Structure 1
Amino acid sequence: MTWLLFAYWYEPEAPSDPVGLVRIWQLARHLTDLGETVTILAPNYGSTRQQTDLRIAGIPLLPVPLLRPISYAIGSWLAGVALALRRTPTVVYYRWMDSPHPLVLARLLGCQCVCEVNGEPVPDWDAARSRALTRVKHWLARQTLRRCDRVVALTEGLRDLVMRRYGVDPGAIIVLPSATDPKRFRPEDPREARRRLRLDPESSYIGFVGSFYRYQGLTCLLEAFAMLRCRRPAMRLLLVGDGEAGPSLREQAIRLNVAEAVTWAGRVSYARVPDFINAMDVCVAPFRGDRGETSPVKVFDYLACGRPTVASAIPSVASLFSEREGVVLVPPDDSIALAGALERVLEDPRWAADLGRRGRGVVCARFGWAGIAEQLRDWVGKGQGASAHADSCVL
């Protein structure tokens, strides 16, 4: 099959392979490995141009906030038409955006339209801005999603949401969560990883990888770390990433008197993330309770590296993982519970190692990008040449 993959985001200064774009690149790579022809229509950023192993049509954007998404919609639609004149696509696949232009193109070309919903189409923080605009966005989402041939939801919660709120046929939906690359993310000796990163090889590290945004729950992690430091003064915290909450988190670390024990690694390319994860004794995903639906790549990558993981028991994480799968779940926004869980893992190295082995086994068996891409190809292939919906499926 021939795929046109539409993906809009605004992140011009991102590293060459920012974590937020991993799903796009990995699906394209593994679909290509399966013999599919995939072209990504993406903003013409430096990070886009560096994906030299992929077919990418870079779309220039106007440097004005209101006009950026409009310029992408117009530019990518015209680019899609130009590509279709050379070879008619079988599938138009797009990550949800506030524009129906991929659906319009698919209908014009008579091919399947598949929409990926990787978050709430109208998130609560967006809904608080304007009631009138929120109603328009909900109407647009309902009209668009119901007319797509297929919808890919990253979590069961998102599947339920698009059925309940937007009236999508259950038979048109598949749940395909995030995944990892077990060949790239594999266990290594923590001391060796620390030496490569010029960290103290003999120290113990609690670690986090991701963007520094409110929903990540990093204020709770710092509070939990401060509690642990009272009992384990040699413990260190390794934070990999950056974002709008960075300055306030640094101020919080100073107030809690733990600043000297926190290593701020900054944003790193995705290719370097395995070293940082392997340098950690225990990894953390401390999402806030109001995070909403998510399928965090970080948890899959932690587990692929065989690292014991402590995560907030938000529905989209708890539906996939438990201690049996290598993840210790704690109530979100509870720094005391988080500190207690971290200490449990650190106090019992044998149990921690067993958690790591179980976690890697689970992701290798169920959550590799190659398997996700194959599942997607086979499911979409059922409807090739027709717009009839396939049976609902949960991976």
Structure 2
Amino acid sequence: MRILYHHRTRGRHVEGVHIRGIVNALRELGHQVTVMSFPGADPEHEPAPTAQASAGKGRLAGAVAKLPGVLFEFMELAYNVVTLFRMAAAIRRLQPQLIYERYSLFLCATIWLARRHGIPVVLEINDSALVERVRPLRLKRLARRIEGWCLRHCTGLVFISSYFRDQAEATYPQVAPSVVSPNAADLARFDPSRFDREQLREQRGLAGRVVCGHIGVFARWHGVDGFVEAISQRLAEAPQLALVLVGDGRTLPAVRELVASRGLSDRVLLPGRVAHDEIASWIACMDYAVLPDSNQYGSPMKLFEQMAMGVAVVAPDYAPVAEVIDDGRTGWLFPRRQTDACVQRVLDLATQTEERRRVGAAARDYIARERQWRNNAEQLLTLVPAEVTR
């Protein structure tokens, strides 16, 4: 089947991982997939972190993303004109049998064109006008009117969590048929047998330690700063424990300052953001992991990648997380927003070697069985009319 994958994101970091995961899985299933990206964004060739600035790629996307409030949203709305011309040309050239689009607010041109040409179009919902967003939504009423129209007039919907689907179905009547498809992991890339764990730990100053790790953006909704503040006062209770917190973001400078001021640089390692190709090597150093906080609707990518490496996660009990983690079997849940409970579980597990190994092994088995990108691709294809997939 000829599939046209369209997205309006910058195609970097987690967005790029998800796009590549779905596209590659569809190709492995035998489909011909063409990716149409925002000008200047190319998720299939994401530059390394150190090369981003000098490469000059993605400058247009970056400049637009920095526009203030309403002006940014008007630009999002205006992008429908660009999409009409680009998508019309792509349809003429490629003759796609399916259009798969990573949904973006205000973007409706793809669905209008697909309906006009009689092409099935499936939307993947990672964002919505119904949830709290990092960038506050100014034109909320307009965004919801357009979103409701899109969700009703597409062929099918892929929601990354049940929370997203429940919100949409409660707000917009008669939305298209849907599936819930959380994130996934590339089991070949995230394979612990690829790494010499002890050598990596030796190189990174972690030999002889019990390592609890975190990978992700240092943003308020992940709660890393609050977690470090709380656990730094109790690290004496677990002298063998070291923390490895990989990533960057707004709260990283404050975390670095806290670690330095309390003399914990030998116990809390902060390597900053690393390329996605290097993530697995950092997870290989971990005995278990922690996600201090999340949100009501998200499906954290690193949760799946850590589990794929046999590293189970201490995580808050938000519904999308609880859909993935079976408490005590494939991970450990604590009551959301209760940092003390999170810290206590992390400290307790520092001495529970067999528990960490048992749950970590079950976590990898779960990913291998249900949460590889192939599973997501097969699931989304169930939304396509049978006569198209033949």
Quote the residue 1:393 is aligned against. none
1:219 maps to amino acid: D
How do residues 258-273 of structure 1 correspond to structure 2 at under 5 angstroms?
258-259=264-265, 261-273=267-279
Tell me, yes or no, if the aligned pair for 2:26 and 2:33 is still in contact at 8 Å. Answer: yes
SS of alignment partner, residue 347 of structure 1:
coil
In the aligned structure 1, how far is the partner of 2:337 from the partner of 2:59?
41
How do residues 134-153 of structure 1 correspond to structure 2 at under 5 angstroms?
134-153=140-159
In the aligned structure 2, how far is the partner of 1:276 from the partner of 1:369?
21
- How far is 1:70 from its partner? 5.6
After superposition, the C-alpha distances for 1:268-294 in whole angstroms (9 at most, x for unaligned) are 111111111111121111224xx1201
Question: Is 1:292 aligned with 2:286?
Answer: no
Question: Is 1:312 aligned with 2:316?
Answer: yes
Question: Is 1:181 aligned with 2:183?
Answer: no
In the aligned structure 2, how far is the partner of 1:202 from the partner of 1:45?
45
In the aligned structure 1, how far is the partner of 2:299 from the partner of 2:231?
25
- How far is 1:258 from its partner? 3.5
Quote the residue 1:3 is aligned against. 3
TM-score in terms of structure 2 length = 0.85
Question: Is 1:20 aligned with 2:15?
Answer: yes
Identity %: 25
1:247 maps to amino acid: P
Q: What residue ranges of structure 2 are gaps of 5+ in the alignment?
A: 48-56
Change (3 A) 1:125 1:296: closer
In the aligned structure 2, how far is the partner of 1:192 from the partner of 1:260?
18
Tell me, yes or no, if the aligned pair for 1:42 and 1:59 is still in contact at 8 Å. Answer: no
In the aligned structure 2, how far is the partner of 1:127 from the partner of 1:265?
27
1:120 maps to amino acid: S
In the aligned structure 2, how far is the partner of 1:245 from the partner of 1:74?
37
Q: What residue ranges of structure 1 are gaps of 5+ in the alignment?
A: 53-57, 386-395
In the aligned structure 1, how far is the partner of 2:298 from the partner of 2:290?
15
- How far is 1:232 from its partner? 2.4
In the aligned structure 2, how far is the partner of 1:121 from the partner of 1:227?
40
After superposition, the C-alpha distances for 1:100-146 in whole angstroms (9 at most, x for unaligned) are 1111221232101211111333432479654xx21111111112211
SS of alignment partner, residue 94 of structure 1:
strand
Quote the residue 2:114 is aligned against. 106
1:379 counterpart (374, 383, 386): 383
Change (3 A) 1:267 1:87: same
Change (3 A) 1:37 1:250: same
Quote the residue 1:30 is aligned against. 25
Tell me, yes or no, if the aligned pair for 2:184 and 2:367 is still in contact at 8 Å. Answer: yes
TM-score in terms of structure 1 length = 0.84
Question: Is 1:91 aligned with 2:98?
Answer: yes
- How far is 1:223 from its partner? 2.9
In the aligned structure 1, how far is the partner of 2:231 from the partner of 2:221?
18
SS of alignment partner, residue 124 of structure 1:
coil
In the aligned structure 2, how far is the partner of 1:60 from the partner of 1:2?
30
In the aligned structure 2, how far is the partner of 1:136 from the partner of 1:68?
14
Question: Is 1:172 aligned with 2:177?
Answer: yes
| Count of residues in correspondence between the two structures | 369
SS of alignment partner, residue 198 of structure 2:
helix
1:7 maps to amino acid: H
Question: Is 1:281 aligned with 2:298?
Answer: no
2:252 counterpart (243, 246, 264): 246
2:197 counterpart (180, 190, 207): 190
Question: Is 1:214 aligned with 2:220?
Answer: yes
Change (3 A) 1:138 1:75: closer
- How far is 1:208 from its partner? 0.6
Query: Which range moves more in the overlay, 246-255 or 263-272?
Result: 246-255
Quote the residue 1:388 is aligned against. none
What is the Cα-based RMSD across aligned positions, in Å? 2.7
SS of alignment partner, residue 286 of structure 1:
coil
Question: Is 1:200 aligned with 2:206?
Answer: yes
In the aligned structure 2, how far is the partner of 1:101 from the partner of 1:184?
36
Tell me, yes or no, if the aligned pair for 1:61 and 1:68 is still in contact at 8 Å. Answer: no
- How far is 1:212 from its partner? 1.4
Quote the residue 1:327 is aligned against. 331
SS of alignment partner, residue 364 of structure 1:
helix
Tell me, yes or no, if the aligned pair for 2:186 and 2:373 is still in contact at 8 Å. Answer: yes
How do residues 123-138 of structure 1 correspond to structure 2 at under 5 angstroms?
123-125=131-133, 130=138, 133-138=139-144
Quote the residue 1:43 is aligned against. 38
Quote the residue 1:390 is aligned against. none
SS of alignment partner, residue 383 of structure 2:
helix
Change (3 A) 1:369 1:215: same
- How far is 1:202 from its partner? 2.3
1:356 maps to amino acid: G
In the aligned structure 1, how far is the partner of 2:129 from the partner of 2:329?
30
Tell me, yes or no, if the aligned pair for 2:230 and 2:339 is still in contact at 8 Å. Answer: yes
